[in-house]
Amino acid sequence: WTGIDSDFNWLSVDPTTGSIGAGQTQTINVTFDSSQVPAGDWLTNLIISSNAGNDVIVPCALNVSGEGVLSVN
């Protein structure tokens, strides 16, 4: 797999790249960050490529409602 396009700064993966052998597993942490975008619906796909030709497509959706409020006393 490879990293996420920089246009999608609200979504990150860790590790950002890697490869695994047949029969092995790898945990990929996916983080959604609503602080990087205004209110609305944000959609993309996380595509995990395989040299066997059976890519895995994971739909990723983030719904941001309202705007953050900063309060200073």
Classify residue 15 as left (phi > 0), alpha (psi -120 to 50) or beta. Answer: beta
* Beta-carbon count within 10 A of 45 CB: 11
Q: What is the pLDDT of residues 47-58, one digit of tens each?
A: 888 777 788 888
pTM: predicted TM-score of the whole model, two decimal places: 0.70
Q: Are 37 and 61 in contact (CB under 8 A)?
A: no
Mean pLDDT of the chain: 80
Is the confidence at residue 71, as pLDDT, over 80?
A: no
Answer yes or no: is pLDDT of 69 > 60: no
**Which residue's entry shows tokens 């695994």?**
20
